[in-house]
């Protein structure tokens, strides 16, 4: 008999209602579950002792919550909604379109479905079997099909209308899981004849954006509000902490909590009046929200202590050697059939097993084409490494990437010889934050706070604060810049 069961609860699109999540977490707490995780497909993960399982099942059934026990037959639908607004791209895709897509699913998919904004790099494009990616045409989507257990992508001949995504997915799944070998022409004609969806000719392919992982942790200003990113080094979120988060969301009238593929949370729409309340919750539960960027750029498999421990070893090595990892993300795969997302992929491989138990393993290092993690083309860098060799070789690959970027940048920026000049300027008065030294210059205003250029410091509203650390306007210090500046 198993001592513990692994429970998976899907959160479609990575969106959780605070009230609904609070009810689920309360059931978890009653079943003596103290910590939960969020998976790379934006689902809720928990482990429960077998003696408490029947109580948890009873509560979840009463709540009408669908769950899976030691199974992933119904993978979560993932989406880039978690980055909408806070990592805004300016395209037509917004909250209402995401919800329309998710509402179009009247079934639980057995295939992995990804819903992605084509202009972002926060969430993966092609880790699904059915990958819908927004096109330049409003309300139409590219579709890329990756049959199960393959690494081959097929682009659908037409763009799919927003409202039709659920029905098209259902018809595609019925065909792809029915047993016959994949035939692109047969599949296209069959779906066209049965689905009756609104489509548009796809004249080009999706243009993959340059990968840049935004810093997704801590308090961050956007428009007139704040969003909060929460990451945990061990991936464990205290149930009691999350219950406090849900309660404060309900009090603040925040209707959604977003999970991310980086096993973290994003809470949008925090009003200034409640900013201190959120800080108090973090202090109450001793939550740190300023980890190094190189620690945030990792993906490991669900419930994999092996992968998590290896991540900690490599991050510690990078810190000790001051390794530059900017522009990269890393994935660790310790199980053969699992899937992770990364510019650099570290795959564990058994070379000696006894009764299906691995007694000797080695590691292979791959990198994605152009180091873009959305590329499905992975290139072997080093093969058959022992664990003690791994960190040095991954660092070597990081240095190769940095040299590549330096070369690309130098080719784009031709060197010109410009004689230094002394330019006399009038005395300029600005106001500087005493805590983080950010400067407010009336000549430039503050774009993030919608303060137009030319707005004097005295003309700023009394509620204005430092855009970086939110020090109040009244504490900003007046300083004078030097008159002579060399260019």
The residue out of 135, 166, 201 marking a domain boundary is 201
Q: What is the C-alpha separation between 452 and 359, in angstroms, rounded?
A: 65
Tell me how many degrees the CA angle 385-391-392 measures, rounded to the nearest 5.
Answer: 85
178 and 92 both lie in a single domain: yes
Q: What is the DSSP string of 334-396?
A: -STT-----SEEEEEEEEEEETTEEEEEEEEEEEEGGG-TT-S-EEEEEEEE-HHHHHHHHHH
Mean of per-residue pLDDT scores for the chain: 89
pLDDT tens digits for range 320-334: 999 999 999 999 999
Could you say which DSSP state residue 252 is in?
A: H
Confidence of residue 379 (pLDDT cuts 50, 70, 90): very high
Answer for the pair 477, 436: CB distance below 8 angstroms, yes or no: no
The residue out of 412, 444, 468 marking a domain boundary is 412
177 and 141 both lie in a single domain: yes
Establish if 171 belongs to a structural domain.
yes
Q: Residue 477: how many CA atoms within 13 Å on its side-chain side?
A: 10
Q: Which residues, including other chains, have CB under 8 Å from residue 476's CB and lie 6 or more apart?
A: 431, 432, 433, 434, 440, 457, 466
Structure tokens at 136: 């330049």
- Inter-axis angle of helices 275-284 and 239-252, nearest 10: 170
Question: 461: domain CATH number?
Answer: 2.20.28.10
Establish if 24 belongs to a structural domain.
no
Across residues 425-445, what is the average pLDDT? Answer: 75
Across residues 282-301, what is the average pLDDT? Answer: 93
329 and 299 both lie in a single domain: yes
399 and 426 both lie in a single domain: no
Confidence of residue 254 (pLDDT cuts 50, 70, 90): very high
pLDDT tens digits for range 39-50: 999 999 999 999
pLDDT surpasses 80 at 90? no
Q: Which of 443, 429, 421, 431 is nearest to 481 (CA)?
A: 429
Across residues 362-369, what is the average pLDDT? Answer: 96
For position 484, what pLDDT does the model report?
44
Dihedral (Cα; 23, 26, 28, 32), 10-degree rounding: -170
Establish if 212 belongs to a structural domain.
no
388 and 481 both lie in a single domain: no
Q: Which residues, including other chains, have CB under 8 Å from residue 33's CB and lie 6 or more apart?
A: 46, 47, 48, 52, 56, 239
- Three-state secondary-structure class, residue 30: helix
pLDDT surpasses 70 at 27? yes
Q: Which residues, including other chains, have CB under 8 Å from residue 393's CB and lie 6 or more apart?
A: 365, 381, 382, 385
The residue out of 201, 233, 258 marking a domain boundary is 201
Establish if 5 belongs to a structural domain.
no
Structure tokens at 148: 């199960």
467 and 362 both lie in a single domain: no
Establish if 274 belongs to a structural domain.
no
Number of folded domains that form the chain: 3
For position 421, what pLDDT does the model report?
53
Dihedral (Cα; 53, 340, 300, 82), 10-degree rounding: -80
399 and 301 both lie in a single domain: yes
Return the minimum-mean-pLDDT range out of 138-147, 303-312, 348-357: 348-357
311 and 370 both lie in a single domain: yes
Establish if 262 belongs to a structural domain.
no
For position 233, what pLDDT does the model report?
93
Q: Which of 131, 293, 299 is nearest to 218 (CA)?
A: 293
Element (H, E) at 277: helix 275-284
370 and 450 both lie in a single domain: no
377 and 471 both lie in a single domain: no
Question: 407: domain CATH number?
Answer: 3.30.413
Across residues 53-70, what is the average pLDDT? Answer: 96
Q: Which residues, including other chains, have CB under 8 Å from residue 284's CB and lie 6 or more apart?
A: 244
Establish if 191 belongs to a structural domain.
yes
The per-residue b/e assignment along 158-179, b for 16 or more CB within 10 angstroms, e otherwise, is bbbbbebbbbbbebbbebbeee
pLDDT surpasses 50 at 486? no
- Three-state secondary-structure class, residue 410: helix
367 and 426 both lie in a single domain: no
Establish if 146 belongs to a structural domain.
yes
324 and 399 both lie in a single domain: yes
Across residues 336-350, what is the average pLDDT? Answer: 91
Answer for the pair 239, 25: CB distance below 8 angstroms, yes or no: yes
Q: What is the C-alpha separation between 152 and 130, in angstroms, rounded?
A: 12
Which has the higher per-residue pLDDT, 339 or 427? 339
With 0-12 CB in 10 A as exposed, 13-18 as middle and 19+ as buried, what is 13? buried
* Percentage, residues of the chain above pLDDT 90: 66
Domain residues for the domain of 447 are 422-486
């Amino acid at each position: 008999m198993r001592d513990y069961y692994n429970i998976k609860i899907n959160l479609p699109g990575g969106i959780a209602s605070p009230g609904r999540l609070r009810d689920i977490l309360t059931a978890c707490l009653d079943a003596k579950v103290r910590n939960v995780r969020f998976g790379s497909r934006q689902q809720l993960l928990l482990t429960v002792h077998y003696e408490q399982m029947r109580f948890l099942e009873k509560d979840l059934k009463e709540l009408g919550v669908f769950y899976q026990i030691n199974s992933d037959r119904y993978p979560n639908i993932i989406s880039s909604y978690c980055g909408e607004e806070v990592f805004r791209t300016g395209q037509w895709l917004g909250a209402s379109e995401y919800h329309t897509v998710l509402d179009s699913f009247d079934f639980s998919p057995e295939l992995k479905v990804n819903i992605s904004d084509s202009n972002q790099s926060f969430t993966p494009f092609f880790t699904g079997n059915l990958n819908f990616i927004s096109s330049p045409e409003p309300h139409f989507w590219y579709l890329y099909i990756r049959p199960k257990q393959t690494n081959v992508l097929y682009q659908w001949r037409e763009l799919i209308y927003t409202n039709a995504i659920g029905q098209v997915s259902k018809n595609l799944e019925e065909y792809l899981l029915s047993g016959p070998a994949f035939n692109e022409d047969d599949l296209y004609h069959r779906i066209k004849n049965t689905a009756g969806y609104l489509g548009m000719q796809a004249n080009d392919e999706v243009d993959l954006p340059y990968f840049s992982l935004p810093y997704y942790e801590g308090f961050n200003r956007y428009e007139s509000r704040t969003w909060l990113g929460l990451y945990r080094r061990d991936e464990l979120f205290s149930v009691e902490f999350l219950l406090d988060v849900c309660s404060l969301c309900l009090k603040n009238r925040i209707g959604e909590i977003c999970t991310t593929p980086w096993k973290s949370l994003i809470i949008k729409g925090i009003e200034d009046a409640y900013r201190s309340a959120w800080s108090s919750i973090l202090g109450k539960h001793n939550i740190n929200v300023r980890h190094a960027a190189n620690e945030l750029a990792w993906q490991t498999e669900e419930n994999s202590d092996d992968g998590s421990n290896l991540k900690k070893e490599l991050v510690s090595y990078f810190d000790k050697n001051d390794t530059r990892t900017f522009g990269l993300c890393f994935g660790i795969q310790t199980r053969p059939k699992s899937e992770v997302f990364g510019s650099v992929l570290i795959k564990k491989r058994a070379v000696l097993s006894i009764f299906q138990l691995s007694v000797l393993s080695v590691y292979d290092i791959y990198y994605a084409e152009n180091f873009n993690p959305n590329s499905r083309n992975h290139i072997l860098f080093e093969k058959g490494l022992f664990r003690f060799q791994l960190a040095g070789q991954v660092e070597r690959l990081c240095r190769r990437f940095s040299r590549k970027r330096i070369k690309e940048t130098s080719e784009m920026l031709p060197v010109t010889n410009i004689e230094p000049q002394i330019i006399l300027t009038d005395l300029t008065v600005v106001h500087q934050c005493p805590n983080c030294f950010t400067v407010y210059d009336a000549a430039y205003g503050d774009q993030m706070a919608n303060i137009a250029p030319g707005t004097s410091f005295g003309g700023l509203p009394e509620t204005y604060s430092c855009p970086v650390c939110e020090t109040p306007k009244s504490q900003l210090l007046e300083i004078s810049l030097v008159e002579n500046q060399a260019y």
